[in-house]
Amino acid sequence: MKTAYRIIYPDTRPPEEREVEADFGGRKGLKIFDEILRPILGADADFEHVRVYWPWDGGEPRYLDMFVDEDGIGKRLPVNKVATSIYHMNVIVHDPHGRGSEESIANAPRIHGTAVLFQKPVWS
């Protein structure tokens, strides 16, 4: 499968877009994720998969896969406002209290550190 992915930085740098063509399934897929994510998220990163609902390039929202460092907050990485807003869109859509309740958004976790968002679902 060929897909694009965006590196979303926690600072003011604009997102960086790259393309990859790979088979993301099975054990080979885990190696490919490691090859893509480790240089971006860091050698000591513990990858966490985050399913998000987001409109890639302003199109219709759809489910996409985002990866972050699971311990970003413990490592005191800065809050990533763009990645957090992408994650919160998923919270808003699935809010049990009604779309976008302040309580749900206030209690939703923040993304810390760099995030990698894929254009297509790649995690199964």
pLDDT tens-digit profile of 12-55? 899 999 999 988 887 778 888 899 999 999 999 999 999 999 99
Query: What are the sequence ranges of the domains in the chain?
Result: 2-118
51-98 tens-digit pLDDT: 999 999 888 999 999 999 999 999 999 999 999 999 988 888 877 665
How many Å apart are CA 122 and CA 67, to the nearest integer?
Answer: 11
Going by the DSSP 8-state scheme, the letter that residue 44 receives in this structure is T
Edge-first strand order for the sheet with 16-21 is 16-21, 2-8, 115-118, 62-69, 47-54
Measured CA to CA in angstroms, residue 109 lies from 22, 38, 59, 84 at distances of 31, 23, 25, 8
Q: What is the pLDDT of residue 56?
A: 93
Q: What is the pLDDT of residue 92?
A: 80
Q: What is the pLDDT of residue 91?
A: 80
Q: What is the pLDDT of residue 122?
A: 92
